[in-house]
């Protein structure tokens, strides 16, 4: 038996060692809501680095045909088009005020049907506002392979310390950390969190909303998105869609 003694000096050599042995850490980047034009404008960036992403779409039936066609193109590029609710309602609030059955009948089933009529078969779902509960999880997992919640990203706690955003392979409920302006996470902190994915040999889940240089809370500057995708690629992280987990 031939043995190999590869030096473990720094992140680069650790990554080479683990890639050689067959392990492949990754990053799963997803986007929420219906900012189709902004997402579509990132096609060149995705192509440059071979990046794949998941787009969780809400209000699908209100999208103009041009946006639906752009989602088809993104899907043809290899990205995942997923579901974010018909009307982007808070699942926890709606169920507490109505019922779980009513939530499924008004927010979930019609939205899935509308997407299927346009050629999309969503396998994953993300909670609007991140509001969820175990009994809602259980109901939704009858219709989706994965459901994505959101990790609490307190400014006092580093992303690299959030164990719930790192996975090997995981069906069911998963959590992602936000990188929009509102979460107050610097690019260096996000890079450190991706570096930790290499160290842990896991996939890190990150999410955004609108990619724009506007000074809005739920925006991620295009330069930040480009920098984190470039860093992930250079670090050897594989780009996963949520349905690939």
- Has residue 147 been placed in a domain? yes
In sequence order, the 6+-apart residues with CB closer than 8 A to the CB of 97 are none
174-200 mean pLDDT = 96
Range name among 124-128, 135-139, 182-186, 227-231 with the lowest pLDDT average: 182-186
Range name among 9-23, 143-157, 190-204 with the lowest pLDDT average: 9-23
Domain count, the chain: 1
Is pLDDT above 60 for 19? no
- Has residue 221 been placed in a domain? yes
- Has residue 4 been placed in a domain? no
**Quick one: pLDDT at residue 153?**
74
**Quick one: pLDDT at residue 150?**
95
Write out the two tokens for 189: 């902190």
- Has residue 11 been placed in a domain? no
Question: Do residues 225 and 45 lie in contact, with contact meaning Cβ atoms separated by under 8 Å?
Answer: yes
Q: What percent of the chain has pLDDT over 90?
A: 85
The per-residue b/e assignment along 134-149, b for 16 or more CB within 10 angstroms, e otherwise, is eebbebbeeebbbbbb
Is pLDDT above 70 for 63? yes
**Quick one: pLDDT at residue 7?**
32
- Has residue 201 been placed in a domain? yes
pLDDT digits (tens, 9 = 90+) for 195-222: 999 999 999 999 999 999 999 999 999 9
- Has residue 232 been placed in a domain? yes
Query: Which pTM was predicted?
Result: 0.90
- Nearest 10 degrees: CA dihedral of 71, 208, 211, 94? 70
Report the CATH number at residue 174.
3.20.20.370
**Quick one: pLDDT at residue 93?**
95
- Has residue 220 been placed in a domain? yes
- pLDDT band, residue 12 (cuts 50/70/90): low
**Quick one: pLDDT at residue 27?**
98
pLDDT digits (tens, 9 = 90+) for 100-115: 999 999 999 999 999 9
What is the residue range of 95's domain?
A: 25-244
Query: Best-predicted range by mean pLDDT among 81-90, 148-157, 166-175?
Result: 81-90
Range name among 3-17, 22-36, 170-184, 192-206 with the lowest pLDDT average: 3-17
Is pLDDT above 90 for 9? no
- pLDDT band, residue 23 (cuts 50/70/90): low
């Amino acid at each position: 038996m031939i043995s190999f003694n590869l030096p473990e000096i720094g992140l680069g050599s650790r990554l080479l060692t683990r890639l050689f042995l067959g392990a492949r850490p990754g990053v799963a980047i997803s986007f929420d809501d219906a900012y189709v034009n902004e997402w579509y404008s990132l096609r060149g960036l995705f192509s440059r680095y071979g990046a794949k992403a998941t787009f969780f779409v809400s209000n699908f039936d209100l999208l103009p045909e041009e946006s639906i066609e752009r989602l088809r193109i993104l899907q043809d590029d290899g990205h995942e088009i997923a579901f974010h609710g018909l009307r982007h309602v808070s699942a926890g609030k709606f169920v507490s005020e109505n019922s779980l059955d009513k939530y499924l009948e008004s927010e979930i089933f019609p939205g899935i049907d509308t997407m299927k009529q346009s050629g999309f078969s969503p396998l994953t779902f993300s909670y609007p506002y991140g509001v969820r509960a175990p009994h809602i999880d259980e109901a939704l997992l009858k219709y989706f392979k994965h459901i994505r919640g959101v990790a609490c990203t307190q400014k006092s706690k580093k992303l690299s310390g959030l164990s719930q955003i790192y996975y090997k392979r995981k069906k069911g409920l998963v959590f992602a950390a936000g990188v929009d302006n509102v979460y107050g996470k610097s690019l260096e902190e996000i890079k450190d969190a991706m570096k930790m994915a290499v160290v842990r040999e896991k996939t890190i889940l990150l999410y955004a909303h609108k990619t724009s240089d506007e000074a809005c809370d739920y925006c991620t500057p295009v330069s930040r998105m480009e920098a984190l995708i470039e860093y992930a690629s250079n670090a050897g992280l594989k780009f996963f869609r949520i349905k690939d987990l």
